[in-house]
Amino acid sequence: MVVAGVLCFIASSISSAGGIGGGGLFIPILTIVAGLDLKTASGLSAFMVTGGSIANVMCNLCATCPKFGGKSLIDYDIALLSEPCMLLGVSIGVICNLVFPEWLITTIFALFLTWSTSKTCHSGLLFWKIESEKIRKNGFQELENGTTEERLKSIEEHLLVPEKNIKLSIPWLKLVVLLLVWFSFFTLYLLRGNKYGQSIIPMKPCGVGYWILSSVQIPLALVFTAWIVFRTESHQDQNLMQEVPNFPRSVMQGPCLSRNGPSNKLIFPVMALLAGILGGVFGIGGGMLISPLLLQVGIAPEVTAATCCFMVFFSSTMSALQYLLLGMEHIETALILAIICFVASLLGLLVVQKAIQNYGRPSLIVFSVSIVMTLSIVLMTSFGAIEIWRDYISGRYMGFKLPC
């Protein structure tokens, strides 16, 4: 457990830089290194992701970015549009996880994450080229001329807004709506319970009431999403990468909440639903899956990291509280690991922010996501292959199963 704790500290510090939870690293570390069973490792991982996301949200919630006109790095509109469908997707994915055989889950995970990692690396290289273009335009090509302070001052004068014009603005109404969405789904989860009959009210596992409450999530997510889509003000998002000559306009802007109306806004609920389903199938958070998708539609790396971590906070706290209220064991260990990840996330976030400030390279965030995803492919696929081999040599049934 000590070795696993050290490895999780390193994994959390790297994951926090990309704004993703790190469940794809925590679960293999706890199962392979610490020798825990998958159920216990999943419960501990939920607390660890929560600890890391709390640290990130604390840093990003009250921070403003001069680069984007003094706006918060967290895009609350994307979070609002995505959260209901992500929570619905997680429930669908969990059911698929029960039905699909282990070999199919492992194969889908390896294929999807390999494709997603390659796309993320491509985005990272593109952002690196964009940053290099900006640096050259602002006099950074001659490193021997002038001090670091002078070079930083040069680019700041060109890109940043004056500090006196920056005002912190927290959209309390949007936070209240997010909490309402969270509380609605959390109440349904507690009333429904799980397939083992763990619930706050007497309910037959996988009975009629269980499936009725499960199906209520679909209209709930649709109603919340439809209301948010038509209530969100149409505006040109300022959190996208600034346009640079010789680079495609579509890469710089993307469809983020543009004036084209609700049709463009629907891309975020669709992405969130896909990320939630895959996250539920693989047993990991959706941050690792939605982060590459946001980068693909042109959201700036800093905004992607902050927004993903904000969304992970809601999904991870829901998972952690469900484990807690439904009789989770090893609570002391979970809290210790959560504190470790909290400290590690703060450290990783501060280091990356300092590096971005010194070198003007937000693409470091994208490469951080790529590192975590690559490690997750290796660890999760290896772990899955071991489990498949054990099932095979023991003669267990390896086909599709019933959800109950």
- Reduced 3-state DSSP string for 119-188: HHHHHHHHHHHHHHHHHHHCCCCCCCCCCHHHHHHHHHHHHCCCHHHCCCCCCHHHHHHHHHHHHHHHHH
- Residue 166: burial class (beta carbons within 10 Å; 0-12, 13-18, 19+): middle
pLDDT above 60 (res 86):
yes
Q: Which of 227, 235, 234, 213 is nearest to 181 (CA)?
A: 227
The predicted structure's pLDDT at residue 318: 82
The predicted structure's pLDDT at residue 335: 92
Gyration radius from the chain CA atoms: 22
Confidence of residue 160 (pLDDT cuts 50, 70, 90): very low
Least reliable range by pLDDT among 132-136, 200-204, 246-250 = 246-250
Q: pTM for this structure? A: 0.78
Model confidence pLDDT, tens digit, residues 161-207? 444 455 566 788 888 999 999 999 988 888 877 666 666 677 776 77
Residue 332 tokens read as: 């002391």
> Would you say how long the chain is, in residues?
404
Averaged pLDDT of the chain: 78
Decide which of 43 and 6 is more confident: 6
pLDDT above 90 (res 239):
no
The predicted structure's pLDDT at residue 260: 44
- Residue 261: burial class (beta carbons within 10 Å; 0-12, 13-18, 19+): exposed
Q: Which residue has the tokens 């670091």?
A: 148
